[in-house]
Chains A and B, each alone.
Chain A
Amino acid sequence: MTRSRPPLPPPAPQRVSISRRGFLTGTGTGAAALAVAGCSTDDEGGVRGPTSTSTSAPVERARQFFTPAEASLVEALTARILPGDPDDPGAREAEVVVYIDALLASGGWGSEPVYRSGPFVTPEQIEEERAASDAEDEAAGGGGGDSSGSPDLGTTPFGVTRRPVDAFDRYGEQSMMTPPEVYRQGLPLVDAHSEARFGAPFTELTEGQQDQVLVAMEDGEAPEFTDLASEDLFVLLRQHTIEGMFSDPMYGGNRDMVGWDLIGWPGAQRAYSPAEMQAERPPRPPKAMEHLPAFEAGRRTGRDEPVLPQSGSDEGDHAAHGAGR
Chain B
Amino acid sequence: MGARVHPEVDVVTMGAGWTAGILAQQLTAEGKRVVSLERGPTRWTDPDFQHNHDSLHYRVRKAMMLDISKETWTWRPNTRARALPIRRLGSFHPGQGLGGAGVHWAAETWRFFPSDFRYRSHHVERYGQDRLPEGSNVQDWPLGYDELEPYYDRFEWDVGVSGHAGNLRGELIGEGNPFEGPRSRDYPLPPLQRSIAAAEFSAAAEDLGLHPFRQPASILSEGYRDLSGRYRSGCLYCGFCTRYGCEVDAKASALTAHIPLALQTGRYEVRTGCVVRRIEVDDRGRATGLRYVDQSGREHVQPAAVVVISGYTLNNVRMLLLSRSDAHPDGVGNDRGLVGANYTYQLSQTPVTGVFEGRRFNQYMGNACVQDALHDFNGDNFDHSDLDFIGGASVTAGGGEREPLTSVGDLPVGDGERNWGRAWKQALRGWDSVVGIAIQGESLPYRDHRLDLDPTYKDVFGDPLLRITYDFRENDRRLYAYLAKRCAEIMERMGPSSMETTDELEPYTIAPYQSTHNTGGAIMGADPGSSVTDSYGRVWDTPNVYVTGATLYPQNPGMNPTGTLCALAYRTAEHLNSVDLGSLAEGHG
In the bound complex, do residue B405 and residue A247 qualify as a contact, i.e. CB atoms below 8 Å apart? yes
User: 4 other contacts beyond A7-B410, A170-B509, A263-B431, with CB at 8 A cut-off?
Assistant: A115-B69, A151-B78, A272-B237, A297-B233
B contacts with A: majority SS: loop
> Distance in Å from the Cβ of A166 to the closest Cβ of chain B?
10
Give bound CA distance, A315 to B425, whole Å.
Answer: 30
| B-side contacts of A173, CB under 8 Å | 87-88, 511
B513 interface residue (CB < 8 Å to A): yes
Residue B436, interface by CB 8 Å:
yes
Q: A115 with B362: in contact, given A171-B84, A272-B237 (CB under 8 Å)?
A: no
Query: In the bound complex, what is the Cα–Cα distance between A294 and B53 (angstroms)?
Result: 12
The listed residue (B67, B361, B507, B511) touching A165 by CB distance below 8 A is: B507
Which parts of A73-114 form the interface with B (CB within 8 Å)? 80-84, 90, 109-114
Which B residues, 255 to 281, have Cβ-Cβ distances below 8 Å to chain A?
Answer: none
Query: Of A80, A280, A282, which one neighbours B196 at CB under 8 angstroms?
Result: A280
A83 to B238, Cβ gap below 8 A?
no
**Among A29-37, A55-63, A298-306, the stretch in contact with B:** A298-306
Q: Is the interface of A mostly helix, strand, loop or mixed?
A: loop
What is the CA–CA distance of A152 and B77 in the complex, to the nearest angstrom?
10
Q: A148-B78, A259-B404 are in contact. Are A308 and B431 (CB under 8 A)?
A: no
Question: B249 to A170, Cβ gap below 8 A?
Answer: no
Is B514's CB under 8 angstroms from A3's CB?
yes
- A contact residues around B53 at 8 Å (CB): 267-270, 289, 292
Q: Using a CB–CB distance below 8 Å, which chain A residues touch chain B? A: 1-9, 80-84, 90, 109-117, 119, 121, 125-126, 129-130, 133, 146-149, 151-152, 154, 156-158, 160, 162, 165, 167, 169-174, 211, 214-215, 218, 238-239, 241-243, 245-248, 251, 259-260, 262-274, 276-283, 289, 292, 294-299, 304-306, 308-309, 318, 321-325
What separation, in Å, do the CA atoms of A134 and B503 have in the docked complex? 27
Q: Which of B195, B223, B403, B446 contacts A265 (CB 8 A)?
A: B403
Pick the contact of A3: B236, B349, B424, B500 (CB < 8 A).
B349
Asked if B237 and A117 make an inter-chain contact with CB atoms under 8 angstroms apart, the answer reads no
Number of interface residues of B (CB under 8 A): 124
- Taking a contact as CB atoms closer than 8 A, the residue among B80, B388, B509 that contacts A148 in the complex is B80
A81 to B423 Cα, complex, angstroms: 10
- Most B Cβ at <10 Å: residue of A2, A246, A259: A2
User: Interface code B393-431, partner A: CB below 8 Å = 1, 0 otherwise?
Assistant: 000000010111111111100000011111011001101
B232 within 8 Å of A (CB atoms): yes
- When distances are taken between beta carbons in the complex, the residues of chain B under 8 Å from A215 are 418
Q: Which A residues touch B431, using CB under 8 A?
A: 263-265
B129 CB-CB contact with A under 8 Å = no
9 intermolecular pairs with C-beta atoms under 8 Å apart: A1-B406, A7-B410, A160-B503, A171-B509, A171-B510, A264-B360, A274-B193, A277-B195, A283-B432
Take A173-B511, A243-B60 as given contacts and tell me if A1 and B238 are in contact as well, using a CB distance cutoff of 8 Å. no
User: Which B84-135 residues sit within 8 Å CB-CB of chain A?
Assistant: 84-91, 134-135
B362 touches which one: A80, A239, A276 (CB < 8 A)?
A: A276
Asked if B561 CB lies within 8 Å of chain A CBs, one says: no
B370 beta carbon closer than 8 Å to chain A: yes
Nearest-CB residue, chain A, relative to B195: A277
The interface residues of chain A lying within 8 Å CB-to-CB of B575 are none
Q: Do A263 and B82 have beta carbons less than 8 Å apart?
A: no
B404 touches A246 (CB 8 A): yes
- With known contacts A114-B68, A133-B80, A276-B362, A172–B510 Cβ distance under 8 A: yes
